[in-house]
Amino acid sequence: MKFRIEHIFHQQRPVLLFARQLEAGEFAISERSRLGGVPIKPYLSQPRALTADGQPDMTVFTFVLATANDLPRLQTGQDAELEEA
């Protein structure tokens, strides 16, 4: 499933990514999940993002990098595949 990285919070640890789901469908996160080839923690939440008309944006999710060392491999605006390793 494809996501677009919209924002990276790297001033703190752990590193958080806001990413928009680009394809419809359900997905799950596990210990083996990767986003754009980068390991992520088995944690998922939805930030309080709003659409242009003020409604909750249910296509934006928060992912947590497993290690901050992988941060250079991801960039804001990048499309990234969510996959199992």
User: What are the tens digits of pLDDT across the range 19-61?
Assistant: 999 999 999 999 999 999 999 999 989 888 888 899 988 999 9
> What residues make up the domain containing 9?
2-84
What domain count does the chain have? Answer: 1
pTM: 0.89
Backbone angles phi and psi of 81, in degrees to 5: -90, 130
C-alpha distances in Å from residue 2, one per residue of 16, 45, 52, 56, 79: 17, 17, 22, 20, 7
User: What are the tens digits of pLDDT across the range 58-73?
Assistant: 999 999 999 999 999 9
